[in-house]
C-alpha cells in the first residue's frame, strides 16, 4: 500500500466510527521510545522512522509533528503529496503542536470535533497536560481500541529481534538485590498508606528484577508489568519465556501470568495503589479507578533510586563505556584506512561495520540505530545512514552510536572526525566548526556547580561558548543514561528543572548543524561527584574517553584551561568516579 492508500484505509474506518480526527502516537502501550518498526502504527501510516514523532489525521488532512532532531529526516521520509511536516521549535512538544492544530481545526468546525485517541499510549501526566492545553477548544475525545490504524494494517504478533530470552545480570554488579529493592519500595509505601506500587515502565521492571531482555531492538528490557507489595515483586512477563533457570536465579520475584496479574489488581478494590503518572498509561489508571481502587498518582521511588547509580553500577557502566570507546576508535581507523585505499564505503556500509565491531567486542545489541552522517548529511541531527552516500576524503563523518554489553547498561557516544587521505587536510572552516563545538563540550564536562543545580543551568554553561559566537543547537544538551539510552532524570536542557545528583549518568552533547554544509556533534557520558575541597559543590566528570580528532582542533581558538583539558583527555586519565559517588 502507498502512503495515500494507507491514509484512505484509515479514513474509511474513521468515518465508520464517526471520527473527525485521529491522534496516532509514535509510542506503544508500554510508552516506549524505541518501538519495533514492524509494530509502530505511526511508522506504518507515515513512513517516518524517527524515534519521536506523533501524527494527526483528519478526513482531508494529515500532519506529522517532530522536534529539531528530525526536521530534515521528516522532509526526506514523508510523502509530501499527502503529509505535512510540522517542525516544532525547541521547547514545543509534539503534543502541544498537535493540540494547537486541533484547536485550529475545531475553530473552523460548526460542531465539536470528534477526536480519536488510544488511552494506553498517553501517560497520565501527558494526558492531563494535553487536556489542559485543549481546554476551551471545541473537542470531543473518543477512546479507540483497537485504533483505526491497527484495523487498517491488521494485527501482528510481537516483534522478536533477538533470542527472546530473559537474562539474569550479576546482582553484585548492580549494588542491590531484588529483596533490597523491594524493601526500598516498602519503606516508601508505608507512610503513604498504600498497599502496592504499580510499575509499567520497562526499564524500571528490569531494574527491580535485576533482569534484562533480548526481544526488542535498541533495548535491554522485556515486555511486562509488575506490582510491588511490601513483601514481594509480582512480575508478569508478557512475551519472553520464564525458564526454571530464571526462577531459580530470582527467588525474590513472584512470576505470575496475565490472569493472575489481573486478579491481583482486582484484589486491591477499596485499597490504595500508587502509580507514577509520568509513565503509567492513562487507560490503566482509568481501569483501576473503575474497579474501585484508590489510585495514588505520584512520582515512583524507583525513578530516583534507579537514576542514582550505586558505586557497583557506576563501575559496571565505566567498564562498558571503555569497551565502547575502543570500538568507536577502531571504527574510525577502519573507515580512514578503507577510504584512503580507494575502497567504496557508504554511510550504511560504515554503520553496518560499526555494528559488526560492537558484536565482535561482545555487545549483545545496539542501544539505538547507528547514526552515520557524512558531509552535508551531518546537518540532520539523527540522519539515517544511506547506501547512496559514498564516503570520500575531505569531509566530516558524524558517528553517533551505542550498545549493550552483558552489564545491561546502555552506552552512547558521538564522535565527529575528518575522513582524510594522503595530502588531504581539514579546511579552516571545518576546524573552526569542530573546535567551537569542542569548547562547548569542554565547558559542560568540566563544570563545577553548586549542589541542587538544575539541568537547565548546566545546559546554559555548556552552550555559552557557542552563544558567544551567536550560535546554538536545536536540541537538548544531554539526557540521562542507564538501562535505557534515554533515562530521566536527569535532563540537561533549557527547560530542565530536575537537580543533578551524585550518581546520575548523563550525556553532554553540543553540536552545530549547517544545512547544505554538514554538522559536528561531540558527545561524552559524564557523572557528577562531590567536588574536592569544596563542600556543597559538585564536579562534572567525564566517563567516556574515546579520542578526539586532533586534526580538527584549532589550538588558537582554545584558552589555557581548554588546552590543558585536551591534553589531560588525550592522555586518557579518567578519574575513579565510583569511590566518590553518593547513592540513595
| Residue 581 in domain | no
Residue 273 · residue 295 · CB < 8 Å: yes
Q: pTM value?
A: 0.91
Q: What is the DSSP string of 85-121?
A: EEEPPTT--HHHHHHHHHHHHHHT-SS-EEEEE-GGG
Crossing angle of helices 282-290 and 124-134, in 10° steps, is: 100
Is the domain of 300 the same as that of 320?
no
* Preceding amide of 422 cis, omega within 30: no
Please report how many Cα atoms fall inside a 13 Å half-sphere around the Cα of residue 422, on the Cβ side: 2
Q: Are residues 356 and 505 in the same domain?
A: yes
Cα separation, 29 vs 194, whole angstroms = 25
Per-residue pLDDT 10s for the chain (584 aa) are 999 999 999 999 999 999 999 999 999 999 998 898 888 999 999 999 988 999 999 999 999 999 988 888 899 899 999 999 999 987 789 999 999 999 999 999 999 999 999 999 999 999 999 999 999 999 999 999 999 999 999 988 888 988 899 999 999 889 999 999 999 999 999 999 999 999 999 999 999 999 999 999 999 999 999 999 999 999 999 999 999 999 999 999 999 999 999 999 999 999 999 999 999 999 999 999 999 999 999 999 999 999 999 999 999 999 999 999 999 999 999 999 999 999 999 999 999 999 999 999 999 999 999 999 999 999 988 888 999 999 999 999 999 999 999 989 999 999 999 999 999 999 999 999 999 999 999 999 999 999 999 999 999 999 999 999 999 999 999 999 999 999 999 999 999 999 999 999 999 999 999 999 999 999 999 999 999 999 999 999 999 999 999 999 999 999 999 999 999 999 875 444 433 333 22
142 lies in the same domain as 203: no
Same structural domain for residues 254 and 353? no
Report the pLDDT value the prediction gives residue 118, as an integer from 0 to 100.
Answer: 97
**pLDDT score, position 161:** 85
Q: Which of 190, 266, 191, 180 is nearest to 227 (CA)?
A: 266
Q: Give the full edge-to-edge strand order of the sheet including 395-401.
A: 371-374, 395-401, 413-419
pLDDT score of 382 = 86
Burial (CB count <10 Å: 0-12, 13-18, 19+), residue 209: buried
Same domain, 302 and 323: no
Give the per-residue pLDDT at 159: 85
Q: Are strands 518-521 and 511-514 parallel, antiparallel or unpaired?
A: antiparallel
Closest CA to 490 of 299, 278, 315, 304: 304
Q: Classify residue 424 by its DSSP letter.
A: B
CATH number of the domain where residue 171 is located: 3.40.350.10
What is the C-alpha separation between 269 and 22, in angstroms, rounded? 34
Question: Does 275 reside within a domain?
Answer: yes
Provide the number of structural domains found in the chain. Answer: 3
> Are 449 and 540 spatial neighbours (Cβ–Cβ below 8 Å)?
yes
Distance CA 143, CA 286 (A): 12
- DSSP SS3 for 165: coil
Sign of the four-CA dihedral 212, 213, 216, 218: positive
Domain co-membership, 293 together with 349:
no
517 and 379 in a common domain: yes
Residue ranges in 294-427 assigned as alpha helix (H) = 301-307, 311-340, 347-360
Please give the pLDDT value at position 486: 96
- For CA atoms 447, 452, 455, 461, give the dihedral sign: negative
End-to-end CA distance of the chain: 53
DSSP structure class, residue 427: -
> Same domain, yes or no, for 77 and 171?
no
CB 23 within 8 A of CB 116: yes
What distance in Å separates the CA atoms of residue 221 and residue 166, rounded to the nearest whole number? 9
Instruction: List the grid coordinates of 234.
Output: 509480582
Q: What is the CATH number of the domain that holds 388?
A: 3.90.230.10
| Domain-embedded: residue 211 | yes
Q: At what angle do helices 311-340 and 347-360 cross, to 10 degrees?
A: 130
Say what the pLDDT of residue 379 is: 93
Let me know the angle formed at the C-alpha of 21 by 15 and 26, rounded to the nearest 5 degrees.
120
* Domain annotation covers residue 575: no
Residues 36, 53 within the same domain: yes
In the sheet that 524-530 helps form, which strands lie side by side, from edge to edge?
Answer: 448-450, 537-542, 524-530, 505-508, 478-480, 487-492
Per-residue model confidence (pLDDT) at position 157: 87
The parent domain of residue 397 ranges over 311-570
Task: Report whether 462 contacts 443 (CB < 8 A).
Answer: yes
As beta bridge partners, residue 255 has 235
Residue 83 domain flag: yes
Question: Residue 325 has what pLDDT?
Answer: 97
From 281, 306, 331, the end of a domain falls on 306
CA distance 254 to 248: 11
In a domain, 246, yes or no: yes
Q: How confident is the model at residue 419, as a pLDDT?
A: 97
Answer with the one of 125, 153, 181 that is the final residue of a domain: 153
Evaluate whether residue 134 is within a structural domain.
yes
Domain identity same for 444 and 298: no
Question: What nine digits make up the cell of 309?
Answer: 547509580
Together in a domain, 257 and 405: no
Which cell is 394 given? 575531505
In this structure, the answer to whether residues 393 and 526 fall within a common structural domain is yes
DSSP classification of residue 120: G
Q: Is residue 431 assigned to a domain?
A: yes
Of 261, 283, 306, the residue at which a domain comes to its end is: 306
Amino acid at each position: 500500500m502507498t502512503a495515500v492508500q494507507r491514509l484512505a484505509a484509515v479514513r474509511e474506518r474513521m468515518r465508520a466510527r464517526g471520527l473527525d480526527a485521529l491522534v496516532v502516537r509514535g509510542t506503544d502501550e508500554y510508552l516506549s521510545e524505541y518501538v519495533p518498526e514492524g509494530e509502530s502504527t505511526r511508522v506504518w501510516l507515515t513512513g517516518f522512522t524517527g524515534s519521536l514523532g506523533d501524527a494527526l489525521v483528519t478526513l482531508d488532512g494529515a500532519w506529522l509533528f517532530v522536534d529539531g532532531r528530525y526536521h530534515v529526516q521528516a522532509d526526506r521520509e514523508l510523502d509530501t503529496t499527502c503529509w505535512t511536516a510540522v517542525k516544532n521549535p525547541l521547547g514545543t512538544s509534539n503534543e502541544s503542536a498537535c493540540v494547537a492544530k486541533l484547536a485550529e481545526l475545531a475553530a473552523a468546525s460548526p460542531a465539536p470535533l470528534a477526536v480519536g485517541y488510544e488511552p494506553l499510549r498517553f501517560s497520565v501526566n501527558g494526558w492531563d497536560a494535553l487536556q489542559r492545553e485543549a481546554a476551551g477548544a471545541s473537542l470531543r475525545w473518543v477512546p479507540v481500541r483497537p485504533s483505526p490504524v491497527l484495523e487498517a494494517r491488521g494485527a501482528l504478533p510481537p516483534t522478536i529481534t533477538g533470542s527472546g530470552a530473559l537474562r539474569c545480570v550479576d546482582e553484585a554488579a548492580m549494588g542491590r538485590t531484588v529483596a533490597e529493592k523491594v524493601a526500598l519500595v516498602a519503606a516508601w509505601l508505608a507512610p503513604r498508606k498504600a498497599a502496592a506500587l504499580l510499575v509499567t515502565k520497562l526499564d524500571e521492571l528490569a531494574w527491580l528484577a535485576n533482569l534484562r531482555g533480548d526481544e526488542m531492538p535498541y533495548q535491554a528490557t522485556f515486555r511486562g508489568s509488575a506490582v510491588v507489595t511490601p513483601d514481594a515483586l509480582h512480575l508478569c512477563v508478557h512475551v519472553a519465556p520464564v525458564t526454571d533457570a530464571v526462577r531459580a536465579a530470582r527467588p525474590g520475584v513472584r512470576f505470575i501470568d496475565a490472569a493472575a496479574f489481573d486478579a491481583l489488581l482486582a484484589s486491591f478494590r477499596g485499597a490504595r495503589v500508587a502509580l507514577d503518572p509520568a509513565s503509567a498509561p492513562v487507560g490503566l489508571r482509568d481501569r483501576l479507578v473503575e474497579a474501585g481502587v484508590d489510585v495514588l498518582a505520584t512520582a515512583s521511588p524507583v525513578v530516583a533510586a534507579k537514576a542514582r547509580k550505586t558505586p557497583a553500577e557506576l563501575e559496571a557502566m565505566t567498564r562498558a563505556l571503555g569497551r565502547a570507546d575502543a570500538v568507536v576508535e577502531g571504527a574510525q581507523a577502519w573507515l580512514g584506512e578503507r577510504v584512503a585505499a580507494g575502497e567504496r564505503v557508504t554511510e550504511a556500509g560504515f554503520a553496518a561495520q560499526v555494528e559488526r565491531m560492537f558484536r565482535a567486542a561482545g555487545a549483545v545489541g545496539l542501544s539505538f540505530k547507528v547514526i552515520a552522517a557524512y558531509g552535508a548529511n551531518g546537518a540532520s541531527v539523527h540522519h539515517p545512514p544511506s547506501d547512496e552516500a559514498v564516503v570520500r576524503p575531505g569531509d566530516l563523518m558524524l558517528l553517533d552510536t551505542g550498545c549493550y554489553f552483558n552489564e545491561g547498561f546502555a552506552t552512547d557516544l558521538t564522535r565527529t572526525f575528518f575522513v582524510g587521505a594522503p595530502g588531504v587536510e581539514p579546511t579552516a572552516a571545518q576546524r573552526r566548526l569542530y573546535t567551537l563545538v569542542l569548547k562547548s563540550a569542554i565547558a559542560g564536562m568540566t563544570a563545577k556547580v553548586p549542589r541542587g543545580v538544575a539541568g537547565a543551568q548546566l545546559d546554559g554553561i555548556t552552550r555559552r561558548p557557542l552563544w558567544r559566537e551567536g550560535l546554538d543547537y536545536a536540541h537538548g544538551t544531554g539526557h540521562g543514561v542507564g538501562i535505557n539510552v534515554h533515562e530521566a532524570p536527569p535532563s540537561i536542557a533549557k527547560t530542565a528543572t530536575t537537580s543533578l545528583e551524585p550518581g546520575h549518568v548523563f550525556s553532554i552533547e553540543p553540536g552545530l548543524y549547517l544545512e547544505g554544509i554538514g554538522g559536528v556533534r561531540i558527545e561524552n557520558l559524564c557523572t557528577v561527584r562531590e567536588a574536592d575541597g569544596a563542600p556543597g559543590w559538585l564536579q562534572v566528570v567525564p566517563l567516556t574517553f574515546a579520542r578526539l580528532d586532533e586534526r580538527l582542533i584549532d589550538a588558537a581558538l582554545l584558552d589555557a584551561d581548554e588546552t590543558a583539558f585536551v591534553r589531560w583527555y588525550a592522555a586518557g586519565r579518567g578519574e575513579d568516579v565510583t569511590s566518590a559517588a553518593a547513592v540513595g
